[in-house]
Amino acid sequence: MQYPTVDYKKVPLFAKVSQSDWNDWRWQLSHVIKDIPTLERVISLDASEKNDLKRCLAKFRMAITPYYAALMDARDRQCPVRLQAVPSIEELRNDPDDLDDPLHEDVDSPVPGLTHRYPDRVLLLVTNICSMNCRHCTRRRMVGFEDTPLSKACLDKAVKYISGNKAVRDVLISGGDPLTLSDDHLESILQRLRAIKHVEIIRIGTRVPVVMPMRVTEKLAAMLRKYHPLYINTHFNHSKEMTAEARLACARLADAGIPLGNQSVLLRGVNDSQSTMKKLVHNLLMARVKPYYIYQCDLSKGISHFRTSVSKGIEIVESLRGHTTGMAVPTYVVDAPGGGGKIPVMPSYMISQSDKKIVLRNYEGGITSYSLPQVVSRPSNSDTEYASHEGIAALLNGDKRTLEPADLKRRKRGH
């Protein structure tokens, strides 16, 4: 398998850039492409495209790292990299179902910058700065409007909230992109989280390995490895993004003992096909990245043109499970509007059931039956401290008999 290095010298705009500047992430950040005249020196734009872009830029920002720009096809408007980077006139279309904050990240926020949705883990948005503005971004409402890291006062509050909540055992650092912070700044955040005894694991969500891989220096990897157990999830959407540079970034992190996962977004025209996804997940495994999630594109404003039907995601999982390495198969999820969390959706493998048998089908279409145990044996000893007491799990373990909506009319009729 060949992983090409990005040949940036072929792009007129970058022809004179030295190798050392190119490989310096600070240079990349300070040369992000934000306007049409600069973009025109990377890709060809006709008059109508330029006009559309102008209208888009009046409403939404554009920001493309030189590295990611050099990866775009200069002529092909359907290039999967270009579609994720260059604004489309369709972003101006208002779909009546679009929402500002579809995942209620702001609503479920006990202190600014922190979202506490699940019982044992929190999402900590440490900055709203990104190295670029992805066109399909969920957090468009905040990314790239005010470029600020989370203030010291807000971070203090968030750390205090986490230390005061013994149930929080997993902190997910996201943004914006946490890897746009300096090593020192990021390290100070990691130190403060590590000082909290009940925080078992720390996760970082970042797109830097995809859009600015030179940020992942040996020095960064050496700093990160001091804070294990630390996990990193990145965001590759297409195998074209898996360059030699990106692979090196992943290798540095993996060599630092950091387990890597990938969260793709299912995007119309970019990766909504079986073969595109299969190639991507194979490339990820070769870079030591475990495909973790495929997200259904959410209901954020201005991204309706990227949405596929949910059946497309199911079809993709169908084409992977059984057909390739089980490790390569991500969980396809719909992040429920209103803050309901990630809901897995998949093909149905159970065809029928009785009290004695379940009938299953496999990926080949073969049908099999599995005999259920008829002797009820004592379950294994349980570690009660780890039991789940919320939601459907509470019904299963007998904590509750029913779950019902809080506003049921029949409950208000007074009996």
Tell whether residue 64 is a contact of ligand SF4 (CB under 6 A). Answer: no
Q: Identify the three-state secondary structure at position 82.
A: helix
Reduced 3-state DSSP string for 151-170: CHHHHHHHHHHHHCCCCCCE
Which residues are within 8 A (CB) of 86 and not within 5 positions of it... i.e. 6 or more apart? 39, 43, 53, 62, 64, 72, 135
Q: Tell me the C-alpha distance between 174 and 127, whole Å.
A: 8
What is the C-alpha separation between 5 and 245, in angstroms, rounded?
6
Contact between 104 and ligand PLP (CB under 6 A)? no
Catalytic annotation on 137? yes
8 catalytic per annotation: no
- Among ligand PLP, ligand SF4, none, the one that 61 touches (CB under a kind-dependent 5 to 8 A) is none
User: Binding residues for ligand SF4, how many (CB under 6 A)?
Assistant: 9
**Contact window for ligand SF4 (CB under 6 A) among 91-99, 133-141, 237-245, 271-279:** 133-141
Nearest to 249 by CA among 279, 275, 215, 284: 215
DSSP state letter for 131:
S
Q: Binds 118, which of ligand PLP, ligand SF4, none (CB < 5 to 8 A, cut-off by type)? A: ligand PLP
Question: Residue type at 361?
Answer: R
Residue 117 known to be catalytic? yes
Closest CA to 297 of 138, 404, 186, 405: 138
| Contact pattern for ligand PLP over residues 127 through 166, marking x by CB under 6 A | ----------------------------------------
- Residues 232-271: x where in contact with ligand SF4 by CB under 6 A, - otherwise, as a string: ----------------------------------------
Non-local (6+) Cβ contacts of 285 within 8 A are 291, 325, 327, 328
Catalytic residue (one of 79, 134, 250, 297):
134
Report the alpha-carbon distance of residue 162 to residue 121 in Å, rounded: 9
249 contact, one of ligand PLP, ligand SF4, none, CB 5-8 Å limit per kind: none
Site pattern 184..223 for ligand SF4 (x: CB under 6 A): -----------------------x----------------
Indicate which of ligand PLP, ligand SF4, none lies near residue 134 (CB less than 5 to 8 Å, by partner kind).
Answer: ligand SF4
In the chain, the amino acid numbered 304 is: S
Q: From the list ligand SF4, ligand PLP, none, pick the one residue 196 interacts with, judged by a Cβ distance below 5 to 8 Å according to partner type.
A: none
Of 20-28, 95-103, 126-134, 215-223: span binding ligand SF4 (CB under 6 A): 126-134
Burial readout 75-98 (b: 16 or more C-beta within 10 A, e: otherwise) = eeeebbbbbbbbbbeebeeeeeee
Q: Are 295 and 263 spatial neighbours (Cβ–Cβ below 8 Å)?
A: yes
Write out the residues near ligand SF4 by the rule CB under 6 A: 130, 133-134, 137, 139, 143, 176-177, 207
Write out the residues near ligand PLP by the rule CB under 6 A: 115, 117-118, 121, 123, 172, 342
Which residues participate in catalysis according to the annotation?
Answer: 117-118, 121, 130, 134, 137, 139, 298, 335, 342
